[in-house]
Amino acid sequence: MEFYQRFAKYYDEIFPIETEKVEFLKHHLKKAQEVLDLGCATGGYVLALREHGFHVKGLDVSSLMIEQAIAKADKLDLNNVFRCQDMQKLNDIESYDAIYSIGNTIVHLNSMEAIFETFKRVYKALKPNSKLILQMINYERILEKDIHTLPLIQNNGVSLLRRYDFKLPLIDFKTALIVEDETFNNTTQLFPLTAQALVIMLNAIGFKKIQSFDGFSERPFDKENSYQLVLFAEKND
């Protein structure tokens, strides 16, 4: 628990809002739409998009992350923007014109079955002629090139070391959060979903017009060299 308390506290230092991502989402979302951030963490991108006129809500399974998101929203006199909820329990009471999930969130579900069922719920929660945007690490590159470490993150005196230990079909994602002279270690299991498997899954569920990009650059996705995958899919019926 101590790791997660620390991680939530320093999340915004480790992962500050990136203008490139905000501009990318702005470009591909239409104003006044109902939009959901699936796995919103401390809510930074939800609030950044709201500043530009987008009607975005966010959910995250971490109560500590959502507490921080709600505190930010309260300062802006925003109510009912964030809720603590497992993405696997997404219901269709609300419906959305677009759903996005960034930050490598989806691979925290640790089986193909769990991911498939979650995307079925996402599909039901989307209105006709709506859009899904996903971002995750390119695990084909990770596995084929036997990559075990990710780039060191250092911001404002906070460091995050990240390592992959392959225990297929899962990966042990080992992190070390370093704050001043203290180190907090954690291991989380991830499911290394590949771009090919993701596309097959989304097609089976009913998504159309699936496009894959090299991160937020909008260059074509290259499974051998792209560090990140950003994927678009549409629900047309």
Tens-digit pLDDT profile for residues 197-221: 999 999 999 999 999 999 998 899 9
pLDDT at 146: 97
The predicted-structure confidence for 94-112, as pLDDT tens digits, reads as follows 899 999 999 999 999 999 9
Report whether 134 contacts 24 (CB < 8 A): no
pTM of the model: 0.94
Starting at the earlier edge strand, list the strands of the sheet with 182-190: 153-155, 158-167, 170-179, 182-190
* CA separation for the pair 237, 224 (Å, rounded): 34
More confident residue, 67 or 1: 67
DSSP 57-118: EEEES-HHHHHHHHHHHHHTT--S-EEE--GGG--SSS-EEEEEE-SS-GGGS-SHHHHHHH
pLDDT of residue 69 exceeding 80, the answer is yes
pLDDT at 81: 97
The topology under which CATH files domain 2-135+194-235 is: Rossmann fold (3.40.50)
Q: How many residues does the chain have?
A: 237
The mean pLDDT of 18-34, rounded to a whole number, is: 89
* Residue type at 65 in one-letter notation: M
Encoding tokens for residue 119? 């995307």
pLDDT of residue 2 exceeding 70, the answer is no
With both helix axes pointing from N to C terminus, report the angle between 195-205 and 112-125 in degrees, rounded to the nearest 10.
50
Report whether 229 contacts 138 (CB < 8 A): yes
For the chain, the domains span 2-135+194-235, 142-189
